[in-house]
Amino acid sequence: MNTAFVFPGQGSQYVGMGQDLYEQYPEITELYNQANEILDIDIASLSFAGPEEKLKQTYITQPAIVVHSVAAARLVKNIKPQFTAGHSLGEFTALILAGALSFTDGLKLVQLRGKLMQQAGEKNKGTMAAIIGLDSAKITNLCRDASEMGIVQVANYNSPGQIVISGSVEGVKQAMMLAKERGAKIAKELVVHGAFHSPLMESAKEDFKTALSSTEFNKVQIPVYTNVTAMPITKDSDPEFIRESLYKQLTSSVLWQQSIMNMISDGAKEFIELGPGKVLQGLIKRIDPSVSIKGVDKANDIALINN
């Protein structure tokens, strides 16, 4: 069966994530110890014990999720994926899995990305909101209509009828009001530290570009479907294209629904989410309920998947 490994993004974290893997598998204990050294913070203790408020800080959340996701992927022994993708932050984990980035370089980039995004969020106050029950064309139109009040655009095309918008507080509030007027079931503001995947992240891009340019990228060993285009980076793709995708991703929409649909049309029959939570499993189920969907988060999931 053609399998896709998919990796979650920010918002999937929870206090305690990865702890049972750390305690039961010596190779994962070693992985977390290595991550602590790379990051120069105790990411293991922050993941396992919190406090939650600290774990929610973008510069801590991002590497914590990546380490947990890499740990889960390393413990899946009997399944080799033919495709991979990650939701926003998860794209870095997908690139590590695909051999394009070393674990060390990937973690350093993610830590910096988290810091720069947090700084951009503090400098340019913004927010995000989930809109449920309107199609993408209607949401694109209402973002355009609301933009007279401030910046607002689609941040994530998550699944049919579930889209996240991002931008200035005024722009997003206006878009939420219009969404309700135009028939949305829910228009709910999210608790975030910035307007991710919007032009308000622009100030993070230059320093991140510098870091990307000094990081070694290799050709991928398995196709990675990117957030920016929903199309795969393949073995024939120039590694420079990976840098460009990660750079653009900071202010571009995440084409998650389109990425999943493209993987399915290219032959993916089974999706396995690796890392904290079940967010992507829920989204994929809404995108195409006919595919097989599993998750690997905790130690008992490893036992089930390897049998």
Q: Tell me the residue type at 155.
A: A
Return the bridge partners of 163, or none: 131, 157
Q: Which of 227, 232, 246 has its CA nearest to residue 155?
A: 227
Give the Cα separation of 222 and 161 in Å (integer). 30
CB neighbour class for 26 (10 Å; exposed up to 12, middle 13-18, buried from 19): exposed
CA distance between the termini of the chain: 16
Considering 12, 47, 69, 88, which one is annotated as catalytic? 88
306 in Cβ contact with 73 (< 8 Å): no
Q: How many CB atoms are closer than 10 A to CB 249?
A: 23
**H or E stretch including 207?**
helix 202-213
Q: Is 88 assigned a catalytic role? A: yes
Amino acid at 272: I
DSSP code per residue over 7-24: E--TT---TTTTHHHHHH
From the candidates 197, 237, 245, 259, which is the catalytic residue? 197
Q: Cα–Cα distances in Å, from 233 out to 19, 224, 240, 241?
A: 33, 5, 11, 8
- Which distant-in-sequence residues (6+ apart) come within 8 Å of 45 by Cβ? none
Is 68 known to be catalytic?
no
Q: Pull the structure tokens for residue 214.
A: 């000094």
Catalytic residues: 88, 197
